Structure 1
Amino acid sequence: MPEVIWIIGATEGIGEALARAWASQGARLILSARSSEKLDRLIAELGSQHIAIPLDVGKRSTIAAAADQISRIGPLDRIIHLAALYDPGKVAEIDPDKAAEIVNVNLTGSFHIAQIAPPLLKKGGQLALCGSVAGYIGLPQGQIYSASKAGVINLAQTLRSELAGTIDVRLISPGFVETRLTQRNDFTMPAIITPQKAADAIIKGLKSRLFEVHFPRRFTYILKVISVLPYWASLPLLRRLTR
């Protein structure tokens, strides 16, 4: 039997690449994003065996409505939540309304998924939330995005303990990936990779036993080391990144 996988944030970047990769492997997909037009175009390419269900992760009612529709399909093997907002810049420069929107989509949206999605999974099914290496430590120009992703990392860690034995909770922590969002960055992005390579890393990682899937490792391990250093060592390193 093919795996049944719900991908949230499926129409662009990593989500789209992941949908294409899993479809090529024979999985049956439920694809969600805000744009119904983009979802319909993607389904037209991938095949009518897949299903499009629009939703906005910033609005709990749309997630609940999607979950109600999916509950009639049957238990899922995996749920991959990738939807996020990003707005680079210094803390003093960000619009407060935009900051609230980022927190609502990235962190509160992940919380809604964490509450609503697990009953849709078969026993031992997999729920993957998308953090970011930006959530490891407060990075220059990471502002509220980094803070929201730090919250997602913490949420995934909590769920891993609370749902142990029933749901396989995983954390996805990408580095820089060539997407519409990262095109807004005005700095050199180290070890940047394509969405296709990111999708391959995610699929491989989610099939392993590791809690966290992080990539590319030549970059993520550097940030992991910085994040565990004492502040007297880590903060001067971060200040150099602002120059």
Structure 2
Amino acid sequence: MSDLSQERIWIIGASSGIGAAVAKAYAKRGASLILSARSQGPLQALADEIGATALACDVGERATIEEATAQIAQSGPLDRIIHLAALYDPGAIAELDHEKAAQLVQVNLMGTFHIAQLAPSLLREGGQLALCGSVAGYIGLPKGQIYSATKAAVINLTESLRAERKDRDIRLISPGFVSTPMTAKNDFDMPAVITPDAAATAIVRGLDGSGFEVHFPRRLTLALKLLRLLPYRISLALTKRIV
């Protein structure tokens, strides 16, 4: 990517929160953007604001992803695809609605699978595909389900894709707590919470770098990575204390 200002980027899940902030960050450096989300109204408003193309689709519905990829393919290869779309429904496992849980699996896991399978063909040789996991997927924590379970699966899927697609630059994004409408559902204190703009800055900087995983804020992510490395007899004793 010799001239970053000439990049063509598809951002999925761009209508609000982290996705919208990432879109604005790339727009500021002159990238040509295609923005996707389910919500046509907010998506079009953002696209008009920053001079991007709006292309509504629902990652939980494979047919809409197939339609979007076919349309994008007609205009030439992309430099990056950044997939950030997700649903969130926190709560203890015993309290979760099973239909909502199934919807989260469909959007978060199967949606990522659809992108992982269909989107790489849109990229130029060596182009970048970034999929969004979460620090919630590092280790099972109270009230993280079923969102956390889907994100653990996304992390595994992205690792596998990285090993399989040597012709593409596969990346993993693992955000911590970010102040968005999604995390407003939480009824607990969120440690090291950051703004969407701070998250976007971390993502843009990280994706310009060479590491596989972009994770932030590090004061949270490094602690959770350490917790994941501990033997179960220690880590599970610690997570039981979290309420």
TM-score between the two structures when normalised by the length of structure 1: 0.97
Q: Give me the CA root mean square deviation.
A: 0.6
Task: Work out the CA distance in 2 between the residues paired with 1:183 and 1:78.
Answer: 29
Task: Work out the CA distance in 1 between the residues paired with 2:237 and 2:186.
Answer: 22
SS at match of 1:66: helix
CA shift, 1:40, in A, is 1.2
Equivalent of residue 60 in structure 1, options 53, 59, 62: 62
SS at match of 1:44: helix
- The code of the aligned residue for 1:86 comes to Y
CA shift, 1:44, in A, is 1.4
CA shift, 1:176, in A, is 0.1
Question: Residues 116-148 of structure 1, C-alpha deviation per residue, up to 9 Å, x if partnerless?
Answer: 000000000000000000000001100110000
Matched, 1:16 2:15: no
Equivalent of residue 84 in structure 2, options 82, 87, 98: 82
Equivalent of residue 27 in structure 1, options 31, 36, 41: 31
Q: Which residue of 2 aligns with 1:41?
A: 45
Q: Which residue of 1 aligns with 2:121?
A: 119
- Aligned pairs for 1:1-243 within 5 A: 2-47=6-51, 50-164=52-166, 166-242=167-243
- The code of the aligned residue for 2:209 comes to S
SS at match of 1:143: coil
Task: Work out the CA distance in 2 between the residues paired with 1:195 and 1:56.
Answer: 22
> What is the aligned residue count?
239
CA shift, 1:16, in A, is 0.2
- The code of the aligned residue for 2:119 comes to A
Task: Work out the CA distance in 2 between the residues paired with 1:163 and 1:40.
Answer: 33
Task: Work out the CA distance in 1 between the residues paired with 2:19 and 2:44.
Answer: 15
- The code of the aligned residue for 1:208 comes to G
TM-score between the two structures when normalised by the length of structure 2: 0.97
SS at match of 1:241: coil
Structure 1 residues without counterparts, runs of 5 or longer: none
Identical aligned residues as a percent: 62
- The code of the aligned residue for 1:159 comes to L
